[in-house]
């Protein structure tokens, strides 16, 4: 039981760390500056918690399905941009602006999709290779 909890905590730490690095990269690409890691980490944690709450509430209100997913996608996108605008500050301490935060969010989502596809193919091929090896014996 303790081992499972430890695995989950390590997984969450790695996931939030990667999320912070993605926010830093997306901000560098779009806004031309790199936020501090701690600032990006806090933004990643707040984004994840807020998106989970919003998705849960929308699924309870609208039910599971296409409409709920589409509405959730739009609301979570705007929520991500608002959180980035509020938490990730320019080097001079000013906000980056909501429009630029929307672009950072778009780049962030594109990076996450590309990374997910790459990981799917890497781990999918490893899993298929393992299953193929197991069936031969």
pLDDT digits (tens, 9 = 90+) for 24-47: 999 999 988 999 999 999 999 999
Query: Does residue 137 surpass a pLDDT of 60?
Result: no
pLDDT band at residue 123 under the 50/70/90 scheme: confident
Q: What distances in angstroms separate CA 84 from CA 54, 67, 68, 95, 98, one per listed residue?
A: 16, 26, 24, 9, 8
Is residue 121 included in any domain, yes or no?
Answer: no
pLDDT of res. 136? 59
- In whole angstroms, what is the distance from residue 95 CA to residue 49 CA? 22
The proportion of the chain whose per-residue pLDDT surpasses 90, expressed as a percent, equals: 50
Find the helix or strand (DSSP H, E) in which 102 lies.
Answer: helix 98-136
Least-confidence region, from 29-33, 60-64, 89-93, 98-102: 60-64
Q: What distances in angstroms separate CA 94 from CA 64, 66, 85, 133, one per listed residue?
A: 39, 38, 10, 56
For residue 79 the two structure tokens come to 């929520």
- In whole angstroms, what is the distance from residue 3 CA to residue 46 CA? 26
Is residue 25 included in any domain, yes or no?
Answer: yes
CB 112 within 8 A of CB 80: no
Provide the residue count of the chain. 137
pLDDT band at residue 134 under the 50/70/90 scheme: low
Is residue 122 included in any domain, yes or no?
Answer: no
Is residue 101 included in any domain, yes or no?
Answer: yes
Is residue 125 included in any domain, yes or no?
Answer: no
pLDDT of res. 55? 83
Query: Does residue 69 surpass a pLDDT of 80?
Result: no
Domain enclosing residue 67, as ranges: 2-109
The count of structural domains within the chain is 1
Is residue 83 included in any domain, yes or no?
Answer: yes
């Amino acid at each position: 039981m303790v081992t499972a909890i430890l695995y989950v905590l390590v997984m969450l730490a790695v996931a939030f760390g990667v999320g912070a690095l993605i926010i830093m990269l997306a901000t560098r690409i779009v806004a031309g500056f790199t936020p501090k890691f701690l600032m990006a980490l806090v933004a990643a944690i707040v984004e994840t918690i807020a998106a989970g709450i919003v998705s849960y509430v929308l699924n309870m209100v609208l039910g599971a399905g296409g409409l709920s997913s589409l509405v959730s996608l739009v609301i979570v996108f705007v929520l991500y941009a608002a959180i980035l605008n509020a938490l990730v500050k320019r080097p001079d301490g000013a906000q980056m602006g909501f429009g630029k935060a929307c672009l950072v969010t778009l780049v962030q989502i594109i990076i996450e999709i590309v990374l997910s596809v790459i990981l799917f193919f890497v781990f999918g091929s490893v899993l298929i290779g393992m299953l193929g090896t197991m069936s031969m014996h």
